Amino acid sequence: METDKDHLDFLLSYDTTDRVRNIVKPVKQETAHHLWKKYPGFLPEQYWKKNIFWSYGYFACSIWEESSAAIEGYIVSQGYLSQRTPTHSTG
Residue-wise pLDDT for 29-52, tens only, equals: 999 999 999 998 888 888 877 778
Span 49-66, pLDDT tens digits = 777 888 888 888 888 777
pLDDT, mean over the chain: 78
Task: Answer left, alpha or beta for residue 73, where phi above 0 means left and psi between -120 and 50 means alpha.
Answer: alpha
CA distance 28 to 11: 16
CA distance 79 to 9: 10
The larger pLDDT score, comparing residue 90 to residue 48, is at 48
Percent of the chain scoring above 90 in pLDDT: 18
